[in-house]
Chains A and B, each alone.
Chain A
Amino acid sequence: AQSVAQPEDQVNVAEGNPLTVKCTYSVSGNPYLFWYVQYPNRGLQFLLKYITGDNLVKGSYGFEAEFNKSQTSFHLKKPSALVSDSALYFCAVRDPGSARQLTFGSGTQLTVLP
């Protein structure tokens, strides 16, 4: 069975500082990994994904994530945080051999302080 862990419920960072939102995963095969962002009272918006190839994936709004197979991690990063980045972030994993699509982590609330 596939699973995702987001060890931090809340991450606070000052505007202009780098941010990291952590994610680790467990899947039987080679994973497909995703990051989604959710703003208050809205649906989930796709940020980026890792399927294969370069371990550093660049996505929307200046976000990037690094796939680390040995550590089974897929941490989300941004070099310089904006107040508008404050939102709920979800990591998700998919086993390509499964029809069940995504398994989500519990989410990390990111707050960027002005």
Chain B
Amino acid sequence: NAGVTQTPKFQVLKTGQSMTLQCAQDMNHEYMSWYRQDPGMGLRLIHYSVGAGITDQGEVPNGYNVSRSTTEDFPLRLLSAAPSQTSVYFCASSYSSRGGGSSGNTIYFGEGSWLTVV
């Protein structure tokens, strides 16, 4: 069981370049999300998806685009990279988008993608 897989693990971009961070999960989870982690700020939600074909914005969506064409995949696109997007990016998934009952919807995280924009 691979869980949540992110690629690439490390990437250096020049300002203005575009790229896609890949995220795949093999747990048949409905819910997927992207966070960025910056020192002293915890993890902040960029975009999330409650199922295939449905996406929505989180706290810090500007400069990022997502799509959810399949249950398994949730790529994050940087449209025109800026130094402010230098960060560690985490993809996460869980069974359900809402609380309901005692399942608690534990969220599982990928190993992270370290992105530097120069």
Contacts and interface: CB of A to CB of B under 8 A. Distances in A.
Interface stretch (B14-22, B62-70, B78-86, B90-98): B90-98
Nearest to A95: B99
Question: Which of B56, B98, B111 counts the most chain A CB atoms within 10 A?
Answer: B98
B98 A107 contact: no
A44 B79 CA distance: 26
A46 B106 CA distance: 8
A102 interface: yes
Most B C-beta atoms less than 10 A away, residue of A6, A9, A52: A52
Contacts of A45: 109
Given A44-B109, A104-B43, A106-B41, A32 B99 contact: yes
B107 A102 contact: yes
Contacts, number: 76
Counting chain A residues whose Cβ lies within 8 A of the other chain, the interface size class is 20 to 34
A44 B90 contact: yes
A99 B97 contact: yes
Contacts of B109: 36, 43-45
B42 A90 contact: yes
Nearest to B9: A41
A36 B96 CA distance: 19
Contacts of B40: 9, 106-107
Interface of A: 4, 6, 9, 32, 34, 36, 41-46, 49, 51-53, 90, 94-107
Interface of B: 4, 31, 33, 35, 40-45, 48, 50, 56, 58, 90, 92, 94, 97-100, 102-112, 114
Given A49-B104, A98-B98, 20 more contacts: A6-B42, A32-B104, A32-B105, A34-B106, A36-B109, A41-B112, A43-B90, A46-B107, A51-B104, A53-B102, A96-B99, A99-B50, A101-B33, A101-B92, A101-B97, A102-B45, A103-B45, A106-B41, A106-B42, A107-B42
